[in-house]
């Protein structure tokens, strides 16, 4: 394996430019596609093949699948469809688009030693050349829309690459580092305060110009009752106190399914935490826990149990969104900063909400369902979000593994309540009289 590289040497992504011209879209396309390859720079070819658990995918598969997306939905659309470079690869790298054809078993992606990493790199280069050539000749509204969706899709996979690499390396007894982390900044989490939220009828969901996923639409009305939301995420120190107070031994704090999962999986602390509650595995290898940084790698069940223990609850997604809407989503701590670990807030001045974007995805108390009047995209792309609206819960805000410029206040992430390998954390809420 190549030695870890300092994060300062990793190329950074830029904010997503408006896709209103072939040149702007071509530049953004090259930047996003290049960023995926840059994330692979610290890896050996062997690292890119292994699948550490059914929910994760090998890095090599991520590189190929995102390329398949552009070949299938950009180059392969309509009567202008180009012949696929490797027809047999469509089966290997289709993820869940049933209407696009059959697919290889998800849990067996780690068995795909062929095609090789180098062949997949060549595949990416060939598809990129063809896509950029198409952009150089024309740009209609449909092409721009599908290409923009594909680039946001690739940014999602860039985050998944980091979360999956972290899980993979954590399974290795050598505890390797993916990158050399920078010196940790020193900061102290201020005492947690609750901010009154808006009440009454509020409008939520995406509005304005620019890109949004179909699950952020349509904009609609919600009724919010009196409530307050914490001004910052829950810290490692606060979560450690929950553990020391017996939080993982008290069934009254847990939902039935959560308690059953805890007993079956043997949970006693967040994923990657050491038994001493003072160290954790990171993408920079084992490190001491910063007590003031946001806790992460907790499931919905753990977040909900902590909230009960704290005499609070998790916020509804409409409560979270109305608090976050006036804030600049690009000002948080994201993957572009190259740390890949939540950080304590550097500045504790001001009276508003803090760290709502970046650092950790924040679990909400809202199930992932369609908004009133929701309509998925037409055709195969309608499988992107809508068919997963069953049994999952919404997270908001992005994380330290999310590309800057990818999220917004209306952005809805979703995972199953047992999932912990994502950079997921906690923000508390409570009812007011």
Please give the average per-residue pLDDT across 83-110, as a whole number: 94
Residue tagged 């829950």 (tokens): 234
Mean pLDDT of 308-328: 98
pLDDT (tens digit per residue) in 124-155: 999 999 999 998 887 788 889 999 999 999 99
Tell me what the mean pLDDT of segment 314-331 comes to.
97
pLDDT for the residue 349? 58
Signed CA dihedral, 134, 135, 141, 142: sign only? positive
Indicate if the pLDDT at residue 245 is higher than 60. Answer: yes
pLDDT of residue 78: 60
CA–CA separation, 292 and 191 (whole Å): 10
Distance in angstroms (rounded) separating the CA atoms of residues 74 and 145: 10
Give CA–CA dist 276/280, Å, rounded.
Answer: 9
How do residues 158-186 score in pLDDT, each as one tens digit? Answer: 999 999 999 999 999 999 999 987 777 67
Question: Are β-strands 285-288 and 361-367 bridged in parallel, bridged antiparallel, or unpaired?
Answer: unpaired
Q: How far is residue 293's CA from residue 206's CA, in Å, rounded to a whole number?
A: 30
Task: List the one residue out of 264, 284, 267 whose CA is nearest residue 275.
Answer: 267
Predicted pLDDT at 15: 44
Q: Which helix (H) or strand (E) holds 221?
A: strand 220-224
Question: CB neighbours of 45 closer than 8 A, spacing ≥ 6?
Answer: 116, 117, 118
The pLDDT value recorded for residue 7 is 41
Return the structure tokens found at 169: 């390396």
CA distance 423 to 399: 6
Region 275-294 average pLDDT: 96
Identify the pLDDT of residue 81: 64
**Kind of pairing between the strands at 179-180 and 5-6:** parallel
Q: Answer yes or no: is pLDDT of 18 > 60.
A: no
- Give the C-alpha separation, 397 to 376, whole Å: 22
Spatial distance between the Cα atoms of 244 and 242, rounded to a whole number of angstroms: 6
Residue 379: its pLDDT value, please?
A: 87
Short-list 341, 339, 347, CA closest to 296: 341
Examine the pLDDT at 192 and tell me if it is beyond 70: yes
- What is the per-residue pLDDT for 228? 98
Q: Is 127 left (phi over 0), alpha (psi -120 to 50) or beta?
A: alpha
Mean pLDDT of 386-395: 96
Residue 11 has pLDDT above 60, yes or no: no
Which residues have a Cβ under 8 Å from the Cβ of 37 and sit 6 or more positions away?
63, 121, 124
What is the rounded distance in angstroms from the CA atom of residue 71 to the CA atom of residue 126?
10
What's the pTM? 0.94
What's the rounded Cα separation, in Å, for the pair 232 and 68? 39
Residue 307: the pLDDT is 98
- CA 145, distance to chain mean position in Å, is 22
More confident residue, 10 or 252: 252
Q: How many CA atoms lie within 13 A of 28 on its CB side?
A: 23
Question: How many percent of the chain have pLDDT more than 70?
Answer: 93
Residue 301 pLDDT greater than 70, yes or no? yes
Burial of 395 (0-12, 13-18, 19+ CB in 10 A): buried
3-state secondary structure at position 222: strand
> Cα–Cα distance between 138 and 74 in angstroms, integer?
13
Q: What are the start-end ranges of the H helices in 40-88? A: 59-70
Q: Describe the crossing of helices 141-170 and 59-70 by its angle, rounded to 10 degrees.
A: 170
User: Residue 259: its pLDDT value, please?
Assistant: 98
151 within 8 A of 29, measured Cβ to Cβ: yes
Work out whether strand 227-230 and strand 194-196 pair parallel, antiparallel, or are unpaired: antiparallel
pLDDT tens digits along 391-408: 999 999 999 999 999 999
Query: How much is the pLDDT for 309?
Result: 98
- The structural domains of the chain, with segments of one domain joined by +, span 5-180, 194-431
Residues 140, 22: Cα–Cα separation, whole Å: 9
pLDDT of residue 6 exceeding 90: no
Calculate mean pLDDT across residues 240-249. Answer: 98
> What are the residues whose beta carbons fall under 8 Å from the beta carbon of 265, sequence distance 6 or more?
none
With contact defined as beta carbons under 8 Å apart, do 166 and 342 qualify? no
| pLDDT for 215 | 97
If you classify domain 5-180 with CATH, what class do you get? mainly alpha
Q: What was the pLDDT predicted at 12?
A: 38
N-to-C CA span, the chain = 58
At 14, is the pLDDT very low, low, confident or very high (cuts 50, 70, 90)?
very low
Dump strand ranges (E) for 76-160.
Answer: none
Please check whether the two domains, 5-180 and 194-431, share a CATH topology: no
pLDDT band at 308 (very low <50, low <70, confident <90, very high): very high
pLDDT in the model for residue 79:
56
Q: What is the CATH number of domain 194-431?
A: 3.90.1580.10
pLDDT band, residue 36 (cuts 50/70/90) = very high
Checking if the pLDDT of 3 tops 60, the result is no
């Amino acid at each position: 394996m190549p030695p870890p590289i300092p994060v300062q040497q990793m190329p950074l992504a830029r904010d997503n430019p408006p896709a209103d011209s072939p040149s702007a879209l071509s530049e953004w396309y090259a930047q996003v596609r290049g960023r995926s390859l840059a994330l692979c720079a610290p890896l050996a070819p062997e690292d890119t093949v292994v699948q550490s658990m059914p929910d994760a995918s090998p890095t090599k598969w991520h590189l190929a699948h995102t390329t398949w997306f552009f070949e299938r939905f950009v180059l392969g659309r309509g009567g202008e469809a180009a012949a696929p470079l490797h027809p047999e690869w469509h089966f290997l790298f289709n993820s869940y688009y049933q209407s696009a054809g059959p697919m290889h078993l998800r849990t067996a992606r780690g068995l795909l030693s062929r095609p090789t990493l180098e062949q997949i790199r060549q595949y990416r280069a060939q598809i990129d050349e063809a896509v950029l050539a198409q952009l150089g000749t024309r740009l209609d509204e449909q092409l721009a829309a599908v290409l923009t969706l594909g680039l946001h899709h690739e940014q999602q996979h860039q985050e998944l690459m980091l979360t999956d690499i972290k899980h993979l390396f954590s399974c290795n007894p050598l505890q390797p580092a993916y990158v050399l982390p920078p010196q940790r900044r020193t900061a102290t989490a201020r005492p947690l305060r609750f901010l009154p939220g808006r009440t009454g009828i509020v409008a939520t969901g995406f509005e304005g110009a620019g890109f949004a996923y179909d699950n952020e639409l349509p904009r609609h009305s919600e009724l919010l009752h009196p409530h307050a939301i914490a001004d910052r995420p829950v810290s490692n120190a606060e979560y450690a106190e929950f553990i020391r107070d017996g939080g993982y031994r008290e069934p009254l704090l847990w939902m039935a399914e959560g308690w059953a999962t805890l007993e079956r999986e043997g949970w006693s602390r967040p994923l990657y935490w050491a038994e001493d509650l003072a160290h954790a595995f990171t993408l920079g290898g084992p490190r001491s826990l910063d007590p003031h940084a946001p806790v992460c790698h907790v499931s919905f069940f753990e977040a909900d149990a902590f909230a009960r223990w704290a005499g609070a609850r998790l916020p509804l997604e409409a409560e979270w969104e109305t608090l976050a809407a006036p804030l600049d989503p690009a000002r948080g701590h994201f993957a572009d900063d190259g740390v890949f670990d939540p950080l304590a807030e550097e500045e504790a001045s001001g009276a508003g909400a803090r760290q709502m974007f970046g650092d950790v995805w924040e679990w909400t108390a809202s199930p992932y369902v369609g908004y009133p009047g929701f309509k998925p995209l037409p055709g195969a792309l309608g499988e992107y979000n809508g068919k997963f609206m069953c049994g999952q819960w919404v997270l908001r805000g992005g994380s330290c593994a999310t590309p800057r410029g990818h999220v917004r206040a209306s952005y809805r992430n979703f995972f199953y309540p047992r999932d912990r390998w994502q950079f997921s954390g906690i923000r508390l809420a409570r009812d007011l009289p």
